[in-house]
Structure 1
Amino acid sequence: MQPITVLHNLGVALAAANVDTDQLIPARFMKEPRSVGYGQFLLYDVRHDEHGTPDAEFILHRPKANNAEVMVSRRNFGAGSSREAAVYALVDYGFRCVVAPSFGDIFASNAVNNGLLPAVVEEEEAERLLAALGDAPADIYVDLEQQLIRVAEVQVSFSISPVWRTKLLNGWDDIDMTRQHAHTITEFAAHYSAQFPWTAAQPPESAIISKG
């Protein structure tokens, strides 16, 4: 995964609470292989009418919105089912950070494992950011090292699990994170085998006899 330290690009405001995973990517699109690009399905039913006609006023249809890397929303973002495709849709669209007062637990975990920063801010701070962004893509600055977000004159801090912060700063997935403890794991395995030698796998007796 690509590490995240500072994001300085365009941000968009999605001023809605309880944006669930079925809104982020409707279930009917999940039969498609990810190779087609899930970004085209992001919030499809929210930004199109029942005939599939795009809503020209929706934020993702505004000029330059396809260049946005940060989305600011309201509480309980990513609630609902555990579908990882909701994160794929955001990442494939080009988003690298979502800012909200709270996230669905599984969504947030999936986000980090796919290089998407779930930045948690206070509700009043989210409202300040939403107001500063307005109804068109605008410049936004997100610093993961300092854990702060800035839009125009509005600057707020955000929180994130220290473990998730480390993973995102380094571009690590769970396996990469485990590898950082390889020496300690190897030492433990050697000590455990020496202390409890009978736990080590042994070849079956038939294999020993055949060698003789």
Structure 2
Amino acid sequence: MAHLLLVEDDAAIRTALTRALREQGHVVSAVGSGMPALSAAVEQKPDVVLLDLGLPDIDGADVLSMLRAVSEVPVIVATARDDETEMVRLLDLGADDYVIKPFTAAQLTARVRAVMRRSGKTDEDPVITVGGLVIDTRSYEVTVDGRPVELARKEFELLLALARRAGEVVTKRDLLGEVWQLAWGGSDRTVDVHLSWLRRKLGETAAEPRYLHSVRGVGVRLVAPSES
């Protein structure tokens, strides 16, 4: 999917995240400190840099500033710092997005897709089709068996998150992180309510699902009716 440069000082986290991202289909280069990260970003020209802030040799924010002086590569800051003022500062320094630890590889992959779309680096098909369900990511239009479906913004984003992983069971925590940017905390009820609204607009119910199938205690799976 993408060539990612992972900058993370914790060896255990770096190894686990590298493995998880490769399982998601990415090519991953990983380094543990700031100065090697700058060299790798310039020499390897990755599609996206995943940047931890707590680095041993230089603060991640300084790495971001120096990287922005020599490259326009999209940067996703991965941090345990959840202070809003700090997040605004990092965005002003040139970060394209950020995720709050802890997060999953699936959440990170969703952010990678988003920044690559914004930077024009993806060849992802803008129209996603699952059975009779058609989602146009350019026009935000959805049809089911040719019938237009009017969705609110979060309903559309929820449906899109599930459609991009059609056939997979997506956890509610992953959905909270991807759709609502609530990687830490947040209520499953938020997902449940939006799923209820979405089902109604798609012409189905939880008791008689067509596309949206709940897996008790795990999450939600979107499949074409013929595959359910």
Both structures adopt the same fold (TM-score exceeding 0.5): no
User: What band does the TM-score fall into relative to the shorter chain?
Assistant: under 0.3
Structure index of larger Rg: 1
* TM superposition score normalised by structure 2: 0.25
- TM-score normalized with structure 1 length: 0.26
Pick the structure with more strand per residue: 2
Q: Which has the higher contact order (CA 8 A, sep 6+)?
A: 1
